[in-house]
């Protein structure tokens, strides 16, 4: 019998696929986070990255269209949430904020409300730009979304009316504990999973697999891509806002090339077709970075102390990315969703 | 005014060369090689480090090393990723780009390295009543000569014919007897030499070489090849040239608002892409699949 190509991504709702990742995130966050204060911060950053990678998975993973523009939505979310929550006193007195519009300086809202607003702003801007951008395909779409990131970076870097410009926005309130970002990440995970099993997720993957057959079956490619782009923009806005509340500051450089490519790499390394891939990729990249950091600082890991010269860490991280792609070009998970390890031999 | 026009043309020419290097590699294997930036950087580093040698000797060293690095990239990494799809190769090339930046940091240090390369080039001469820098004239001359040579190579030689054929349809080109491995290695070598030349041009203007030296120009050249029309080498070079000219003109005429030059450039790019998704040199309705 002719072998049917295994298309990556979920087809129908399955409890294991959803609750496996939920369990793993919760367990890993709590176990690692509560072991030391510095690891607690790492876990919180990892959760922000994970939400961002999920946002990329929704659009990039499902549609196969590369987007560098999500960094722009994260940047926007971070600025919105950071400016809305930073104390009025700081915004009116900080040296980096002398040009800030008075109406922005005088606003202060609750952290949770600001996260919601950041997500909405990200979604609306992605929705509007998506109307135009989604007419493009392939590399042109990639470069167009990159142009979007370029405009956002250039604007926020130089504009001191709507933010601190090239400087850091001080005094952004931090999350009180691990559970808030954890809960946000879990909510994002469930939403993305439900979206992926919905007709939007399925039609989107259909357009990725064959963009001639999909419209022949009545799928409006541009329409589903626009919807997915808006939704993933909202998630990216949330991720950026979360990041600002973990870092306690907003700086435009944090959401530019490094951020964009780090999160895209996480998605590709893990396997862009599934949320399980998004999780594995994030975990892998963060833990390799963290282990190397601890080696660099001369700390013992599992009782083993390996001395690493300064600067070697960055080389190892980048090398890991390249080697991971050489080893498994479709990602560590091959784009499959979570399943219990099956030790029995598969019968093809 | 004369200086502004010369600046625009020389910047355009520089970006055209960078775009041509990127376009050659893209044409043969659908790879957007971000690590092209590090080829430009290594050339600039070598020119700075070997500044005591005669210029021509140090340039030859730079060109050879850069071409070797480009071929090494292909042999060690890209060859194994062939056929995995553009997105994965792009991410891999970005990883390679970061990897090389960190290696440069380890070798040359994070702080910029500088040397006065060809100091006579920063002198000024009178042209049509206005004084212009020698380096801008030299850049224009170099880029025109290189583009002519590249044009001859691509239009008139067998290698060029193979490269063009492969850019249009790689599979068919292979069926017709083009040796793919050799051709791709050659494309990488040529793109390495082009990167070395770009490195030379930019290092004369700005001798402060740091690990991320080539990133900016590569990104802009990349934008150039997409708006020019990625399917054709002529389109790539033209697009790169346009990006350079537009950026230079924006910098000259925006006055105090020149910090927003990139925003205007990128907005223009967005508009061009929306009107002509396949680039300026394409027909209106061509679109890439996926």
Q: Which 3 state secondary structure label does DSSP give A122? A: helix
pLDDT value of residue A343: 57
* DSSP of A139-204: HHHHHHHHHHHHHHHHHHHH-SSSS-TTSPBP-PPPPSSTHHHHHHHHHHHHHHHHHHHSHHHHHH
Q: Is A236 a domain residue? A: yes
* DSSP of A19-62: HHHHHHHHHHHHHHHTT-HHHHHHHHHHHHHHHHHHHHIIIIIH
Count of domains forming chain A: 1
Assess B258–A contact: CB distance below 8 Å, yes or no: no
Q: Is A346 a domain residue? A: no
The candidate with the shortest Cα–Cα distance to B6, out of B179, B184, B143, is B143
Considering only CB atoms, A64 lies closest to which of B92, B98, B290, namely: B290
Is the model's pLDDT at A143 over the cut of 70? yes
| pLDDT category of residue A231 using cuts at 50, 70 and 90 | very high
Q: Return d(Cα A262, Cα A273) in angstroms, integer.
A: 17
CB atoms under 10 Å from CB of A310, counted, come to: 9
Question: Cβ distance B262 to A154 under 8 Å?
Answer: yes
The burial class, CB within 10 Å (0-12 / 13-18 / 19+), for A26 is middle
Assess B151–A contact: CB distance below 8 Å, yes or no: no
Q: Is A317 a domain residue? A: no
For the stretch A232-279, pLDDT in tens is: 999 999 999 999 999 999 999 999 988 998 899 899 888 888 899 999
Which residues 272-291 in chain A show a CB within 8 A of chain B?
A: 272
- Which chain A residue has its CA at the smallest distance from B87's CA? A66
For the stretch A42-94, pLDDT in tens is: 999 999 999 999 999 999 999 989 899 999 999 999 999 999 998 888 888 77
Q: Which residues are CB-contacts of B198 (< 8 A; sequence separation ≥ 6)? A: B14, B17, B18, B21, B40, B43, B214, B217
Distances (CA, A) of A249 to A172, A225, A240, B156: 5, 33, 11, 58
- DSSP assigned state of A3: P
Q: Return d(Cα B50, Cα B209) in angstroms, integer.
A: 13
- Chain A residues within 8 A of B267 when measuring between CB atoms: 147, 151
Contact yes or no for B274 and A150 at CB 8 A:
no
Task: Write out the two tokens for B218.
Answer: 């590569």
Give, in degrees to the nearest 5, the angle at Cα A73 between A29 and A205: 80
Contact yes or no for A144 and B102 at CB 8 A:
no
- For chain A, give the number of residues: 348
Distances (CA, A) of A324 to A76, A285, B55: 31, 10, 41
Contact yes or no for A329 and B84 at CB 8 A:
yes
Q: Domain range spanning residue A35?
A: 15-252
Q: Is A305 a domain residue? A: no
Which residues 214-233 in chain A show a CB within 8 A of chain B?
A: none
Mutate which of A147, A259, A326 to test chain B, going by most B C-beta atoms within 10 A? A147
Contact yes or no for B94 and A261 at CB 8 A:
yes
The candidate with the shortest Cα–Cα distance to B200, out of B43, B42, B78, is B43
Backbone torsions φ then ψ of B131, nearest 5 degrees: -90, 130
Contact yes or no for A132 and B290 at CB 8 A:
no
Q: Is A241 a domain residue? A: yes
Q: Is A270 a domain residue? A: no
Assess B56–A contact: CB distance below 8 Å, yes or no: no
The candidate with the shortest Cα–Cα distance to B31, out of B222, B285, B289, is B222
- DSSP assigned state of B119: G
Q: Is A174 a domain residue? A: yes
Q: Which residues are CB-contacts of B138 (< 8 A; sequence separation ≥ 6)? A: B121, B204
Is the model's pLDDT at A220 over the cut of 60? yes
Q: What is the residue-level pLDDT of chain B in tens, covering all 290 positions?
A: 777 888 889 899 999 999 999 988 888 888 889 999 999 999 999 999 998 888 899 999 999 999 999 999 999 999 888 877 777 888 889 889 989 998 998 899 888 888 877 777 777 777 766 777 888 888 889 888 988 898 888 888 998 888 888 877 778 888 888 888 888 999 999 999 999 999 999 998 888 999 999 999 999 998 898 888 777 778 888 999 999 999 988 988 887 888 899 999 999 989 988 888 777 776 544 555 44
- Chain A residues within 8 A of B266 when measuring between CB atoms: 147-148, 150-151, 154
ipTM score assigned to the predicted complex: 0.84
Q: Is A6 a domain residue? A: no
How big is the A-B interface in CB pairs under 8 Å? 135
Task: Write out the two tokens for A16.
Answer: 């294991």
Assess A151–B contact: CB distance below 8 Å, yes or no: yes
Mutate which of A139, A165, A266, A285 to test chain B, going by most B C-beta atoms within 10 A? A139
Assess B63–A contact: CB distance below 8 Å, yes or no: no
């Amino acid at each position: 019998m002719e072998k049917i190509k295994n298309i990556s991504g979920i087809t129908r709702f399955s409890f294991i696929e959803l609750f496996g990742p939920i369990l793993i995130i919760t367990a890993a966050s709590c176990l690692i986070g509560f072991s030391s204060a510095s690891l607690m911060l790492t876990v919180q950053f990892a959760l922000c990255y994970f939400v961002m990678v999920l946002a990329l998975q929704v659009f990039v993973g499902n549609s196969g269209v590369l987007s560098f523009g999500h960094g722009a939505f994260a940047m926007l979310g971070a600025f919105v949430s950071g400016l809305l929550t930073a104390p009025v006193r700081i915004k009116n007195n900080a040296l980096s904020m002398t040009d800030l519009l008075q109406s922005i300086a005088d606003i202060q809202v609750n952290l949770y409300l600001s996260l919601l607003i950041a997500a909405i702003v990200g979604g609306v801007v992605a929705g509007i730009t998506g109307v135009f951008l989604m007419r493009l395909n392939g590399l042109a779409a990639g470069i167009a979304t990159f142009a979007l990131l370029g405009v956002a970076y250039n604007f926020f870097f130089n504009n001191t009316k709507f933010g601190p410009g090239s400087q850091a926005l001080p005094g952004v309130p931090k999350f009180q504990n691990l559970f808030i970002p954890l809960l946000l990440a879990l909510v994002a995970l469930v939403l993305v999973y439900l979206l992926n099993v919905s007709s939007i997720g399925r039609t989107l993957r259909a357009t990725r697999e064959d963009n001639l057959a999909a419209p022949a079956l009545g799928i409006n490619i541009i329409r589903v891509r626009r919807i997915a782009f808006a939704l993933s923009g909202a998630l990216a806005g949330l991720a950026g806002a979360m990041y600002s509340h973990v870092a306690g500051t907003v700086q435009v450089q944090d959401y530019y090339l490094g951020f964009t490519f780090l999160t895209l790499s996480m998605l590709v390394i893990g396997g862009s077709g599934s949320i399980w891939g998004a999780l594995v990729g994030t975990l892998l990249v963060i833990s390799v970075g963290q282990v190397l950091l601890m080696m660099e600082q001369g700390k013992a890991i599992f009782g083993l102390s390996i001395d690493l010269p300064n600067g070697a860490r960055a080389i190892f991280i980048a090398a890991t990315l390249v080697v991971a792609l050489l080893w498994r070009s479709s990602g560590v998970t091959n784009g499959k969703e979570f399943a219990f390890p099956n030790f029995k031999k598969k019968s093809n | 005014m004369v200086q502004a026009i010369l600046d625009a043309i020389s910047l355009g020419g520089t970006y055209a060369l960078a775009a041509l290097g990127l376009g050659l590699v893209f044409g043969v294997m659908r790879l957007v090689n971000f690590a092209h930036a590090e080829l430009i950087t290594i050339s600039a580093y070598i020119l700075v480090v070997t500044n005591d040698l005669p210029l021509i000797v140090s340039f030859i060293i730079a060109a050879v090393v850069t071409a070797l690095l480009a071929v090494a990239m292909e042999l060690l990494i890209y060859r194994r990723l062939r056929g995995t799809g553009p997105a994965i190769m792009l991410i891999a090339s970005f990883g390679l780009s970061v990897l090389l930046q960190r290696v440069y940091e380890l070798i040359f240090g994070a702080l910029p390295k500088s040397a006065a390369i060809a100091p006579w080039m920063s002198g000024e001469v009178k042209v049509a009543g206005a004084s212009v820098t020698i380096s801008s004239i030299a850049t224009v001359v170099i880029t025109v000569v290189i583009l002519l040579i590249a044009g001859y190579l691509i239009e008139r030689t067998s290698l060029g014919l193979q490269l063009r054929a492969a850019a249009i349809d790689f599979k068919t080109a292979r069926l017709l007897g083009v040796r793919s491995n050799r051709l791709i290695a050659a494309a990488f070598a040529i793109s390495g030499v082009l990167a070395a030349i770009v490195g030379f041009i930019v290092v004369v203007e700005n001798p402060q070489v740091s690990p991320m030296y080539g990133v900016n120009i590569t990104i802009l050249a990349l934008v150039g090849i997409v708006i020019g029309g990625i399917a054709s080498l002529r389109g790539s070079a033209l697009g790169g040239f346009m990006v350079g000219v537009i950026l230079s003109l924006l910098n000259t005429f925006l006055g105090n608002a020149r910090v927003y030059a990139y925003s205007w450039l990128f907005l223009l790019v967005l508009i061009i892409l929306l009107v002509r998704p396949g680039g300026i040199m394409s027909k209106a309705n061509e679109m890439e699949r996926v």
